A and B are shown apart, each in its own frame.
Chain A
Amino acid sequence: MLFLIKLSENEKRLIIALLIAVILVFVLIGFLGLLVKKIMISQAHRADTFMYDLVVTKTVKNPRHFRRVGNKKNHRLLFKQSWLPFLFLIASVTFLLTYMGITGHWDLNVFDYYGTDGTNGEGFTTLFFVFDFANAPRTEFFGITIVSGWPPVLSSPYLSVNAWPSYVFVPLFLTGGVWYLVCVQAFIARSVRIMFQSKKVFEKRLDNYDATKNPLDNPLPPTQ
């Protein structure tokens, strides 16, 4: 408490600003997590769609049978959904390996931005601003070193002929990769749903059981 009283007005403001920033970052992460959760719930309902008829007609007999059929269908759906992104990934890697093999340039750096003189980089990052975060201006704040200014620019965007393989490889690989990750996420959501539903569908609960209302417990007397 005494420590806070000793602080100047500016330092107090800075602390409050930092605190608000940290809270906002966590709130944003929480919101993103909620969004991902909602997307996964909607993706998981696909499992209900392909298992509905089998459950309604009692074609699946027990939880084990449910899981077996559900997982089989889930694998098929995964294959159906992700063959294209998988093809993107394989095509991009094959392209890069073929290029490296033909040119003998096995140390190609797809994220290089500089090259030999700053104009002939061979990586995808030649298309972006590159900042020197290591040499960003820093300041001491209560014993902690924090970045206090915009870092110097190492490279500005430019087109490089040497980087054409990276221009092909990186977008293709990133598209395939992100798309494939979404498919895997949907697969996980469906797997979890199948696991839970396999138990829930065959569950018999006695919570609301009333023996007086159940005709099986009060059988009619045998006919004469």
Chain B
Amino acid sequence: MIKFLQFFGQGLLYVVLSPIFLLILALYVVYTSIVMVLLFFKMIILFFAGKNIFGDLPEDIEAAKIIEAHRQAKQAQANPQQPPYPYPFPPPYGYPGYSFPQQPGQIIDQPDVKEIEAKPVDEEKDGEQ
């Protein structure tokens, strides 16, 4: 019964306030119509400028970066990676002139390795010919 009376009271209130609701709706219809026209022209201008009106906002990009960084941090925490090789990091088949895999106690000549890594592949081939 209370619910019924509540509905009745609300109905009475809506009838009394309906002109105000309609006025607000009418104002918003006018406002949104103007927004639609302006956004339409903006979309055309942005289209010819090679941009998209529905593209991400700077805030969205920033948020996506933060979320991605957080996700990666969590993933790294869950699956800890093997620590990287100490320098010099061996290429897939080791360095020329050195045994692979690296033997215990084997000393790799640092300047020699650096020179190998710095040399472009093509230049190396030319040198061979």
Residues of A at under 8 Å CB distance from B? Answer: 23, 25-34, 53-54, 56-57, 59-60, 69, 72-73, 75-76, 78-80, 82-83, 86, 180-181, 183-185, 187-188
Q: 8 Å CB contacts to A: which residues of B1-56?
A: 4, 6-15, 24-25, 28-29, 32-33, 35-36, 39-40, 43, 53-54
Q: How many cross-chain pairs have Cβ atoms below 8 Å apart between A and B?
A: 89
Q: A26 to B13: give the CA distance in the assembly, Å.
A: 9
With A79-B35, A181-B29, A188-B24 as known contacts, state yes or no: A26 contacts B63, CB within 8 Å: no
Choose one: A26, A59, A78, A83; the contact of B11 (CB below 8 Å): A26
With A30-B10, A75-B39 as known contacts, state yes or no: A57 contacts B54, CB within 8 Å: no
Verify B62–A79 contact, CB threshold 8 A: no
Q: A30 to B28: give the CA distance in the assembly, Å.
A: 23
Q: A76 to B57: give the CA distance in the assembly, Å.
A: 11
Q: State the majority secondary structure of interface residues on B.
A: helix
Verify A53–B11 contact, CB threshold 8 A: no
> CB-CB < 8 A to A33: which residues of B?
10-11, 13-14
Q: A222 to B15: give the CA distance in the assembly, Å.
A: 67
Choose one: B9, B35, B60; the contact of A75 (CB below 8 Å): B35
Q: A82 to B8: give the CA distance in the assembly, Å.
A: 34
With A33-B10, A59-B63, A86-B36 as known contacts, state yes or no: A76 contacts B54, CB within 8 Å: yes
Look across to chain B and name the residue whose beta carbon is closest to the beta carbon of A79: B39
> CB-CB < 8 A to B10: which residues of A?
29-30, 33-34
Verify B11–A57 contact, CB threshold 8 A: no
Most interface-central of A28, A59, A76, A78 (chain B CB within 10 A)? A59
Verify B36–A82 contact, CB threshold 8 A: yes
**Closest CB pairs A-B (n = 10):** A30-B11, A26-B11, A30-B10, A29-B11, A30-B7, A57-B66, A33-B14, A57-B63, A59-B63, A27-B7
Choose one: A56, A57, A59, A78; the contact of B32 (CB below 8 Å): A78
Q: State the majority secondary structure of interface residues on A.
A: helix
Q: Say yes or no: is B116 at the interface (Cβ < 8 Å to chain A).
A: no
> CB-CB < 8 A to B24: which residues of A?
188
Q: A220 to B63: give the CA distance in the assembly, Å.
A: 35
Verify A185–B25 contact, CB threshold 8 A: yes
> CB-CB < 8 A to A26: which residues of B?
7-8, 11-12, 15
Shortest B82–chain A CB gap in Å is 31
Q: A72 to B59: give the CA distance in the assembly, Å.
A: 12
> CB-CB < 8 A to B13: which residues of A?
30, 33
> CB-CB < 8 A to B28: which residues of A?
184, 187-188
With A29-B11, A30-B7, A69-B57 as known contacts, state yes or no: A184 contacts B36, CB within 8 Å: no
Can you list 20 pairs linking A and B with CB atoms under 8 Å apart?
A23-B8, A26-B7, A27-B11, A28-B11, A30-B13, A33-B10, A57-B63, A57-B67, A59-B63, A69-B57, A69-B59, A76-B39, A76-B53, A82-B36, A86-B33, A181-B29, A183-B32, A184-B28, A184-B29, A188-B28
Most interface-central of A30, A73, A183 (chain B CB within 10 A)? A30
